[in-house]
Structure 1
């Protein structure tokens, strides 16, 4: 199929997807680099977009930490925000990796990443350990090959998920067609390095955006390649990208954003790969035919195909932005992407630093926008975290319901009654630290500075989650009424909020608790085991509920 095969793609990812669509199907991809196979015909693409899922992996290469976000086609209704750990859609999907630029992170490039996943690609995007937001900005890790090698490791780990029977992506990743790679600025240089100085033969499609020449091709990689560059780029010189293009063998193409600099065509406006005014010209010695040159007045810059090196055919594209400054997130899909990026940034900062330590300015800086712009999406800082709390309830409830329903089957350890139920509920809460934090912050702070709509949405999600889990508890604890099960969960949530804070004291209390000797029996209050304490609370509360209604206190078989 041609470059236009995914007609529902937003323009921001159409260039990447088009090259990937044309190339993926030409070479094998496995857990390790492999020799390239003869080209095969690309397979039919889906006619409609997918809903989006998102997972995060704590991978590494040696001592380099490679936190990697993976977006993928998911079940559900297309057009919404990515859902963390959503079920994978039916099908087998190729891999296209994305590399961020200096001082960035994957969330900055959602206008490029999300349309790829919606189009049927698995999109791993690493957070590079020395060039991402908040790091020292060591660009030598691009020039010495560290980042290109990082990407190869991420590709290996992503493809390996297909063979891990315990992973939700098992059987859903196409490991036979090669992989695509793309990135912007330092990420574009990382991408070009995979074609040249640090080759990865698994790469069959590449889209380096705003890159410079990272070395000479070795012939080990045979990829369909699309270069994208602004001809007024003062950061990564246009001529160096043209040089890199000239050194690569066909099939290849070069898209020029006429009159544009380093990143105006990237941020938010979705014009990276297939903007309006696209003019195609067959390359060859000498200037392009006049009919294929930009029309007078369409913008400054060189003629699109003048001076292309002779040799194997390629394609050149010149794009006129018609002098317009880029516009931030005006289309609904772009606004949704920015909305999601704000939530993801707040989540990441809260999980790292704690909810109470994250300011509105921190979130805005992480996303790469001004606080005043962020407030167009969320009225207050508290609304951001209340929305995250809503999402946490929505993710937690179906998971614990599934585990509770499993208790109705024989238990290999022979454990019965409230002990096993309490353990199951506590484990499901303890594995979600952000939920534990937000249980305390929601009633004390978050609910007190939000709009009525935000409060309504949060409360509905909370009530629905408690109802669903109470129903599941009642199915297991048949002698405990559904209302009592809801009471147990409500009390447990309040207890969890306080116990989590006690089990994770601030630095000044950590210092105090370290002093010896402590007066009286103070030691027992200084080392709170969250899971053990909450489990004991639920066991005692459940025993009281049974006693109130004259039911057996303990040891009853939850399976009836």
Structure 2
């Protein structure tokens, strides 16, 4: 389920593990932060790697892309996106998308999950059930870095504006992260998600219950790994504002590679979605349907909440 992998079928055991391992999803709690206009100019992009809980039984390598200026983190405080890879994949294989989000004014943190990444010593697809908690470990770690004197990211992370995104099994991980929204943990902030992007994935059993948050679904109409019906079903269950970007005739993720058909629409649509949901930028909300649609390449639909 990596971006560049066309192999695999939708195995019932994968969904069984995912559905059994995650509770009903909830969304962000508390009022939204004040709206502010998203950056208009593109940033240079810096990259760093770190490890969350390196001495634990489940160390978590994380790749972080961030807005940069002259080799340092750019001035400002930036919203955070946690990006989850699919089975047999790695964060680096998604850099075409994640680095461009960073250029648009977001800090993107992508964990390499211990038992589903490409180079895992012991691959176990059922471990996806544990990945939502891993995603929240990343968020808590970033919240600590933001206050850690001397860390390059200190003072630059807006952990009140956090979104989860992911591809394939990472899309299911993203949906699973909403199960923990609104909780507090010792030494960490209340768990808040302002938005989600589910790419070639789906929801969980009884998912998307509770307070709503905007969710954007991205799916190829000819996906044989995670069929379109799985994504459509999750879209239908989402109680909050939701949108569905379809890649016509496309499979499981070739559209995530720069230069491939549909990449420009996916990049533009997801970027405007993040500008709207994390910055509160009303102009981005208005642009979203236009930039996501392309005749013969994509379709875009959305559903608002009365």
2:208 touches 2:238 (CA, 8 Å); kept in 1? no
Alpha-carbon distance in 2 for matches of 1:180, 1:253: 15
Q: Which position in structure 2 is the counterpart of 1:319? A: none
- Whether 1:172 aligns to 2:125 is no
Match of 2:97 among 83, 105, 112: 112
Q: Which position in structure 2 is the counterpart of 1:207? A: 197
Q: Which position in structure 1 is the counterpart of 2:172? A: 189
Alpha-carbon distance in 1 for matches of 2:209, 2:98: 29
* Deviating 4+ runs (over 6 angstroms): none
2:29 touches 2:181 (CA, 8 Å); kept in 1? no
Q: CA deviation at 1:35?
A: 6.9
- Relative distance call for 1:158 and 1:105 in structure 2 (3 A) is same
2:146 touches 2:154 (CA, 8 Å); kept in 1? yes
SS in 2 for 1:94: strand
Alpha-carbon distance in 1 for matches of 2:102, 2:85: 16
Match of 1:56 among 49, 54, 71: 49
- Relative distance call for 1:158 and 1:252 in structure 2 (3 A) is same
Q: Which position in structure 2 is the counterpart of 1:228? A: 218
Structure with higher strand content: 2
- Normalising by structure 2, report the TM-score: 0.72
Match of 2:125 among 121, 139, 151: 139
Alpha-carbon distance in 1 for matches of 2:100, 2:253: 19
Alpha-carbon distance in 2 for matches of 1:73, 1:273: 20
* Higher Cα Rg, which structure: 1
- Relative distance call for 1:100 and 1:294 in structure 2 (3 A) is closer
> For 1:168-219, what per-residue CA distance to the aligned partner results, in whole angstroms no more than 9, with x for missing partners?
211111133x3011111111111111134x5464111110100033232364
Unaligned 5+ runs, structure 1 = 1-32, 77-85, 279-292, 314-560
Q: How does 1:109-508 map to 2 (within 5 A)?
A: 109-135=94-120, 136-142=122-128, 145-176=129-160, 178-196=161-179, 198-199=180-181, 201-217=191-207, 219-220=209-210, 222-269=212-259, 271-272=262-263, 274=265, 298=296, 312=305
Q: CA deviation at 1:46?
A: 1.8
Alpha-carbon distance in 2 for matches of 1:107, 1:304: 28
1:54 touches 1:70 (CA, 8 Å); kept in 2? yes
- Relative distance call for 1:65 and 1:206 in structure 2 (3 A) is same
Alpha-carbon distance in 2 for matches of 1:205, 1:35: 8
- Relative distance call for 1:60 and 1:221 in structure 2 (3 A) is farther
- Relative distance call for 1:311 and 1:162 in structure 2 (3 A) is closer
Q: How many residues align?
A: 247
1:203 touches 1:222 (CA, 8 Å); kept in 2? no
1:204 touches 1:221 (CA, 8 Å); kept in 2? no
SS in 1 for 2:53: strand
2:244 touches 2:300 (CA, 8 Å); kept in 1? no
Q: CA deviation at 1:59?
A: 1.2
SS in 2 for 1:56: strand
- Relative distance call for 1:192 and 1:167 in structure 2 (3 A) is same
Alpha-carbon distance in 2 for matches of 1:34, 1:263: 26
Q: Which position in structure 1 is the counterpart of 2:80? A: 95
1:50 touches 1:73 (CA, 8 Å); kept in 2? yes
Structure with higher helix content: 1
Question: Cα RMSD over matched residues?
Answer: 3.0
- Normalising by structure 1, report the TM-score: 0.41
Alpha-carbon distance in 1 for matches of 2:119, 2:227: 26
Alpha-carbon distance in 2 for matches of 1:220, 1:157: 26
SS in 2 for 1:131: coil
1:231 touches 1:258 (CA, 8 Å); kept in 2? yes
Alpha-carbon distance in 2 for matches of 1:267, 1:204: 26
